[in-house]
Amino acid sequence: MSVKKLGLKQRYAHMTRGLDWETTYQPMDKVFPYDSFEGIKIKDWSAWEDPFRLTMDSYWKFQAEKERKLYAVIDAFAQNNGQTGITDGRYANVLKLFLTGISPEEYQAHRGFAFAGRHLRGVGPRVAAQMQSLDELRHIQTQIHTISHYNKYFDGIGEFPHMHDRVWYLSVPKSFFDDARSAGPFEFMIAIGFAFEYVLTNLLFVPFMSGAAYNGDMSTVTFGFSAQSDESRHMTLGIEVIKFLLEQHPDNLPIVQKWVDKWFWRGHRVLGLVAMMMDYMLPKPVMSWKEAWQIYYTEAGGALFQDLARYGLRPPKYADIATAEAEHISHQNWAIFYQYTHAAAFHTWAPDAKHMDWLSEKYPNTFDKYYRPRWEMWNQMAKEGKRFYNMALPQLCQCCQIPMGYTEPGDPTTICFRSSQYKGETYHFCSDGCKDIFDAEPEKFVQSWLPVHQIFQGNCGGATIPDVLNYYRLANGADNMDYVGSPDEKLWNEWQADKLKTAV
């Protein structure tokens, strides 16, 4: 007699339910001390469904297969000197920003999901959070392994964990995850699981990694898409968690809405770094930030929030402002890095005539009018030997920690300033979105570790730029400044000259 095989749904039910127990010698509230203070009400944890119905045994099987495929590519890339086949030496700067600014957040996500997996009372979300925690650890490991090959040749990579905790622009993604990880487990799940993974992460991993493919970086596109194949599972977890919370109790709606508003805006600010990577840093651009925003926020987010409207949830506050900013944000961010290139651990450059034509085509409403004249002026100044550096330390937004370089909604010629008073002190913000977040949790955000304030307080190695660069472990004259004239450029040009010699 043949034994009938269980269907996927039954297998999932058997292998994810009944794994937990009611504690006897300690009250459940002491075992799970963090899942009530946020005000979220859960009536029935067993209503949680993982639509992928992935069990741990299948998880290990598929993840092992993904790793085998990925490491075959990484090995092939290294053995065949793939670094010489990228489009241009400038491209490596994208990887420096990725490894210093994004990979450490994979690790933060790993820690955060481990915490959520420990502290959520229901077994369904605990299994899902555990898998995601392992995924995130895999992501930082594969990213370090991939980019370590570039570290053999290019500057600015080797001190990435040290830099992540200190360098001014890296405090932007760091503070984003510090904020999420110091919240309760439900806010963490909405912040990272829903707002970041579901609504925003596509903008990072899909068009940007496609850009890596287009620029000859076989190893990065492979880790990127391998990570993103986990992300589709993370996205279903994100959408599941929000539906679950909204279905459990009507009192959850205003709490969840507040978190969606907050984390959408915070995510939008962090992703401004990706906007400039896509628009300015890829030698062969593949898709503009504005186009990516249209596909992944306006279309995909539109469909999502239309679906969630049945629970009374509305699209994030200031989504319209974020959409309007998609016309500006990459231009404003890259201009900040161009001005502060002496303090950045990657190289900058002004776009050349051909690249500016691409930007004009992609940004017909804004580039020629507001941004091209500035680049042309800076190019002219550089040609005259007066390359522009901004030597003043910028004021930072207390919430997103980005220099206050953004402009007023509807007026791209006026810098946007907002401020709030709290216990006799004035705090400054780049936008209404960031001000609202502070006003809702001032006790948290007055503690922000703002890099510029820390320099002025004498906590960053000294008062001069070389002192601070030393504190960052940023090699002055190698890691920083323009690409043109850098050791990276010299090496790249030698590789190109070798290729020509070999051809003859």
Query: Which positions touch other proteins (CB under 8 A)?
Result: 7-9, 51-54, 58, 62, 65-66, 69, 202, 205-207, 209-214, 221, 225, 228-229, 231-233, 235-236, 239, 286-287, 295, 299-300, 302-304, 306-307, 310
Quick check: helix, strand or coil at residue 494?
helix
Which of 119, 290 has the CB closer to other proteins?
Answer: 290
CB of 206 to other proteins, least distance (A): 6
CB of 65 to other proteins, least distance (A): 6
Which of 220, 448 has the CB closer to other proteins?
Answer: 220
Nearest residue to 201 (alpha-carbon basis) of 250, 264, 152 = 264
Query: In whole angstroms, how far apart are CA 223 and each of 72, 104, 213, 388?
Result: 11, 15, 11, 37
CB of 9 to other proteins, least distance (A): 6
CB of 115 to other proteins, least distance (A): 25
CB of 222 to other proteins, least distance (A): 9
CB of 267 to other proteins, least distance (A): 16
Which of 210, 333 has the CB closer to other proteins?
Answer: 210
Angle between helices 218-248 and 300-308 (to 10 degrees): 20
Which of 29, 247 has the CB closer to other proteins?
Answer: 247
Which of 276, 287 has the CB closer to other proteins?
Answer: 287
CB of 74 to other proteins, least distance (A): 16
3-state secondary structure 49-98: CCCCCCCHHHHHHHHHHHHHHHHHHHHHHHHCCHHHHCCCHHHHHHHHHH
Which of 183, 199 has the CB closer to other proteins?
Answer: 199
CB atoms within 10 A of CB 275: 26
Torsion of CA 158, 162, 163, 166, to 10 degrees: -170
Please return the burial class of 57, using the count of CB atoms within 10 Å of its CB with bins 0-12, 13-18 and 19+. Answer: exposed
CB of 412 to other proteins, least distance (A): 29
Please return the burial class of 237, using the count of CB atoms within 10 Å of its CB with bins 0-12, 13-18 and 19+. Answer: buried
CB of 291 to other proteins, least distance (A): 11
Which of 30, 310 has the CB closer to other proteins?
Answer: 310
Residue 284 is given by DSSP the state: S
Phi-psi region of 245 (alpha: psi -120 to 50; beta: other; left: phi over 0): alpha
Rounded Cα distance between 79 and 75, Å, is 6
Which of 286, 382 has the CB closer to other proteins?
Answer: 286
User: Rounded to 5 degrees, what are φ and ψ at 75?
Assistant: -60, -45
Under a CB-based contact definition with an 8 Å cutoff, are residues 476 and 483 in contact?
Answer: no
Which of 233, 435 has the CB closer to other proteins?
Answer: 233
Under a CB-based contact definition with an 8 Å cutoff, are residues 430 and 265 in contact?
Answer: no
Nearest residue to 146 (alpha-carbon basis) of 88, 217, 87, 93 = 217
- Return the residue matching tokens 């660069």: 469
